[in-house]
Chains A and B, each alone.
Chain A
């Protein structure tokens, strides 16, 4: 099995999963109402599923201050609705917490 072949296998697998929905569903207007309503719940569900394990698995005694950093990130995000500011708030909080 050559290296290039392995890359092609990976690329095909991930591409099929990513592209087939947008290629299949060509006319969003003709999509059944219930499917559309169901799909509206996907963003919060997916985003929560991506973030929650990360927070729960890594917050603990090993990296103190990480919980504080997440809180700082969340509060800044809710307040400012920006992307860069919560990131900075989290980094600064983690750096300060690391000093103690």
Chain B
């Protein structure tokens, strides 16, 4: 099978996760504003951090000590250390830039998909893994952007409307 086919295969296999991760991204983007993150900060975070658990935890810790943020992120990311090590044992020899990208892209979903495919302990297909990662990363960032720029403000406006309607009812 050629690389493009495997990449497509990884993307197609990940589509169910793209849907859930995209939705989660929208939720993250929409709630980030009320935690004190600017739109651009929220999007930048999804773009660079790319970890749902760490990012949602950060919302509760925002504007507090950076040490708490660092500690929480580190603790929540330790599981990736094991996942990445088990991936490393099954990767073929590939250049450093590709390793860096694959390392950045390790998530619960892409890890689960790529290690359960094929025989136990068999070598992992790099294009397939890359396809899984892309299909998770893109919806996560896009979802955050959509949530922060559109869904979040919509919810806020609806809340303000409701509050003012309640106030008007109270006056009468």
Contacts and interface: CB of A to CB of B under 8 A. Distances in A.
Decide if A and B are genuine partners: yes
Interface of A: 1, 3-11, 13-15, 17-28, 31, 35-36, 39-40, 42-43, 45-47, 49-50, 83-84, 87
Contacts of B82: 42, 45-46
B121 A20 contact: no
B66 A3 contact: no
Given A8-B48, A19-B99, 10 more contacts: A9-B70, A11-B49, A14-B51, A14-B77, A22-B91, A22-B103, A25-B85, A42-B85, A42-B86, A46-B79
Given A26-B99, A43-B115, A46-B79, A3 B37 contact: yes
B129 to A, nearest CB: 10
Interface in B116-144: 116, 120-121, 123
Interface in B64-93: 66, 69-70, 73-74, 76-93
Interface stretch (B38-46, B145-153, B162-170): B38-46
- Which 4 A-B pairs have CB atoms at the shortest separation, nearest pair first? A19-B103, A25-B88, A42-B86, A21-B84
A15 B104 contact: yes
B90 A28 contact: yes
A23 B48 contact: no
A14 B54 contact: yes
A36 B90 CA distance: 9
B73 A10 contact: yes
14 contacts: A4-B44, A7-B44, A10-B55, A10-B69, A10-B73, A13-B77, A14-B49, A14-B51, A21-B81, A22-B102, A28-B90, A28-B91, A39-B85, A50-B79
B85 A7 contact: no
Contacts of A10: 45, 48-49, 54-55, 58, 69-70, 73
Contacts of B51: 14
B80 A18 contact: yes
A9 to B, nearest CB: 5
Contacts of A7: 41, 44-45, 48-49
